[in-house]
Amino acid sequence: DARVTQTPRHKVTEMGQEVTMRCQPILGHNTVFWYRQTMMQGLELLAYFRNRAPLDDSGMPKDRFSAEMPDATLATLKIQPSEPRDSAVYFCASGLGRGRETQYFGPGTRLLVL
């Protein structure tokens, strides 16, 4: 049963620290998405990649967030420096990138920045 995996599942850190979240998409999926979910804003698209190339990261605060796909099996989302307002659940999703194709979500990383 193929699944998207994310690590860590939970992260508590102090303001100013670097946070790195990792995602392994489903094998064969060529599109990877990073979302952030909060009670106030719901699910927001931060960035997405197609065939490892970044297609859109307009939803991401550029000064502190960065997203990369060093290879087809790993996507990373980094926050440096982290701030309390970054506290949220960060989901990675993967898919085949076609119009009606569903996205499969990972279990998420729950981030708390103190």
Handedness of CA 54, 60, 63, 69 (dihedral sign): negative
Residues 60-89 that bind other proteins (CB under 8 A): none
Q: Which two tokens stand for residue 12?
A: 């508590």
Which of residues 24, 65, 88, 106 is near other proteins by CB under 8 A? 106
Asked if 107 interacts with other proteins (CB under 8 A), we say yes
Asked if 108 interacts with other proteins (CB under 8 A), we say yes
Asked if 24 interacts with other proteins (CB under 8 A), we say no
Torsion angle in degrees (nearest 10) through CA of 59, 63, 65, 69 = 90
Size of the site for other proteins (CB under 8 A): 24
Instruction: Note whether 81 and 99 are within 8 A (CB).
Output: no
Provide the CA 97 distance to its chain's centre, in angstroms: 16
Stretch in the footprint of other proteins (CB under 8 A) among 12-20, 42-50, 66-74, 79-87: 42-50
Strand 88-95 versus strand 104-105 pairing type:
antiparallel
Chain residues in the site for other proteins (CB under 8 A):
31, 33, 41-43, 45, 48, 50, 55-56, 91, 95-103, 105-108
